[in-house]
A and B are shown apart, each in its own frame.
Chain A
Amino acid sequence: MTYTPQKPPLPVSVDELRSRIPGWGVDLNPKDRPAVPKERFDLEATGAHWDFPERQLEKWPRERSIEHGMLPPVFGTSCPPRGISGAIRKYAYARYSEGRAAHWLLLLAADRVDAVEHHLRSLLTTHPDNPITETGVWAEFTHHGMASRFGQKRADLAHQPLDPVIVAGPWVAAGGAAYVGARKLAKAMSSSNGHA
């Protein structure tokens, strides 16, 4: 019991567990587990045949954390920074360490700007963004969207209605802003024509 020295008894004995569950106790010895000890100096184990790896070619100035003493020798080359989002990202890396909230909040802001830049750019191509196919929402009709939710005790149903707002909200806001701007422009042009 909690209020006395002994641990409460298990509902099932260890012998029964051993017979019922395949492999019960095969890793029983805490010292004989692959992650133990946490730190284990063993250069032979990795297969590496260098002390410091050769350096990968830096094809553009690679943004990096200011907590690094140098550019690490190997890095990813996906999606180099470009446009306004790229400028925000470069600033976030150059100015703030990983310890500052500003670093991460700027990177999150750049992600949203990046999405807008790419959506707008896609409208000028033969492969514009398609919110129906890209959200995969059609699966609601092919993979039991209703049955997966109704009659289920799912905690996530409380906030799932926010998901379409997150996806469509920026488009609705941008459309509204464009409409208001176009109306103001038309009004300004008609009033300036009236004065002429």
Chain B
Amino acid sequence: MRAMVYRGPYKIRVEEKDVPPIEHPNDAIVRVTMAAICGSDLHLYHGMMPDTRVGMTFGHEFIGVVEQVGSSVQNLQPGDRVMVPFNIFCGTCFFCARGLYSNCHNVNPNATAVGGIYGYSHTCGGYDGGQSEYVRVPFADVGPSIIPDWMDDEDAVLLTDACPTGYFGAQLGDIVEGDVVVVFGAGPVGLFAAKSSWLMGAGRVIVIDHLEHRLEKARTFAHAETYNFTDYDDLVVHMKKITDYLGADVAIDAVGAEADGSFLQQVTSAKLKLQGGSPVALNWAIDSVRKGGTVSVVGAYGPLFSAVKFGDAMNKGLTLRMNQCPVKRQWPRLFEHVRNGYLKPSDIVTHRIPLEHISEGYHIFSAKLDGCIKPLVIPNAA
């Protein structure tokens, strides 16, 4: 089969690999029909995530058709069209039993602090991902769902991570009617977080970024009020000014490890790998939210320490909430919202890239060329 493989920082190529075998009785092998590149894939691509091995296939957002099932699989059969959450989870460990599917303890030998994620380094379990023609899907009776007939493929693939993560980020903010919500980052997760904040009754939604094409999308797709942080000498002061010096009720970090806005933070994390991530957006969130407010973190950070302003968070009495999104918990409600037209995930797709051209796709996304917001990857594109 053809598959994307990592060759070292900033280098990937498409290679011929063996079709993955069934390794466990509850495995399925899925033929991938559509995948996506996630902003967090760029952390791997840039060599930031420890134990990212040369030869690994990335990709934790994908949909496809079941090709083969293991002997204990009951809920799927070959030919089923499935969407697969980015989390790999067993369904019965201490954490899964309590709905914390993204924190499963039975799928990742390499680390206890994070669950299993497709194509996301050995730190997240050492599973190959879906930017390929075929992928192994463990716990086929637990993770995947059959794609409803009425759902578009592009909506389905965005429901495997970006959309539920943004929706989850808004929930972590504990938004109540009339809250002022500020979202840092107008990438896919930030756009969905902003859009979801309205569903939860926000009274004002503000989005911060430095890329004009993304801020434009935040205005049109997410009905948000937007600010380009490069226009302000001190963004935190500006945030105070536009909130009557109170601060926002809720701040959502939808940027994570490669946040811009501080050359020092960016270079020490993304380039020199001396921090788990550049916490610029997180620090702005801490400083921009009002005392007693809530900071929600859905941006991904590496496992090393980061220079976070915990003193201010403590002194302001903030509530900090965060997690990888347990995707499948969000699906029933999100399916309703998509069907009712409240969310149209595929509206943010900007690029559709054949698998054979995936190295250009990564470069376009990484270097933010061509107005790129969300690139999809199409295996077997003619």
Binding site for B on A (CB under 8 A): 1-2, 7-8, 10-12, 14, 17, 20-28, 30, 33-36, 38-43, 45-54, 56-57, 62-65, 67-68, 71-79, 85, 89, 93, 98, 101, 104-105, 107-108, 110-112, 114-115, 117-119, 127, 129-131, 133-140, 142-145, 148, 152-156, 158-160, 162-163, 166-167
Known contacts A47-B75, A48-B142: A74-B364 contact under CB 8 Å:
no
The answer to whether A34 and B139 have CB atoms under 8 Å apart is: no
The answer to whether B126 and A48 have CB atoms under 8 Å apart is: no
- Min CB distance B179 to A, Å, is 10
The answer to whether A11 and B359 have CB atoms under 8 Å apart is: no
- Min CB distance B150 to A, Å, is 18
Q: Which of A22, A51, A153 contacts B228 (CB 8 A)?
A: A153
The answer to whether A71 and B51 have CB atoms under 8 Å apart is: no
The answer to whether B55 and A78 have CB atoms under 8 Å apart is: yes
Output the nearest chain A residue to B329 by Cβ-Cβ distance: A34
The answer to whether B245 and A2 have CB atoms under 8 Å apart is: yes
The answer to whether B105 and A72 have CB atoms under 8 Å apart is: yes
| B168 interfacial by beta-carbon distance below 8 Å | yes
| B90 interfacial by beta-carbon distance below 8 Å | yes
Known contacts A53-B26, A63-B109, A98-B111: A2-B122 contact under CB 8 Å:
no
Output the nearest chain A residue to B95 by Cβ-Cβ distance: A39
Known contacts A39-B100, A76-B128: A107-B50 contact under CB 8 Å:
yes
Chain B contacts of A22 at CB under 8 A?
A: 341-342
Which of B201-220 touch A at CB < 8 Å? 201, 203-204, 210-212
Chain A contacts of B230 at CB under 8 A?
A: 153-155
Which of B161-213 touch A at CB < 8 Å? 168, 171-172, 174-178, 180, 196, 198-201, 203-204, 210-212
| B310 interfacial by beta-carbon distance below 8 Å | no
The answer to whether B223 and A28 have CB atoms under 8 Å apart is: no
- Min CB distance A7 to B, Å, is 7
The answer to whether B125 and A129 have CB atoms under 8 Å apart is: no
The answer to whether B116 and A76 have CB atoms under 8 Å apart is: yes
Given contacts A10-B204, A74-B88, 13 further A-B pairs with CB under 8 A are: A17-B198, A34-B333, A35-B172, A53-B24, A65-B110, A67-B111, A68-B112, A78-B55, A79-B54, A111-B50, A114-B54, A136-B364, A143-B364
- Min CB distance A177 to B, Å, is 18
The answer to whether B97 and A135 have CB atoms under 8 Å apart is: no
Binding site for A on B (CB under 8 A): 7-13, 15, 23-26, 47, 50-57, 72, 74-75, 88-92, 96-101, 105-113, 116, 122-123, 125-128, 138-139, 141-142, 168, 171-172, 174-178, 180, 196, 198-201, 203-204, 210-212, 223, 228-231, 243-246, 260-261, 263, 266-267, 270-271, 273, 302-305, 326, 329-330, 332-334, 337, 340-343, 358-364, 367-371
The answer to whether A136 and B198 have CB atoms under 8 Å apart is: no
Which 7 residue pairs are nearest across A and B when measured between Cβ atoms? A23-B342, A48-B91, A76-B126, A136-B363, A115-B8, A46-B91, A76-B127
State in angstroms the CA–CA spacing of A159 and B359 once bound together.
Answer: 21
Chain A contacts of B212 at CB under 8 A?
A: 152-153
State in angstroms the CA–CA spacing of A111 and B13 once bound together.
Answer: 17
The answer to whether A47 and B178 have CB atoms under 8 Å apart is: no
The answer to whether B201 and A28 have CB atoms under 8 Å apart is: yes
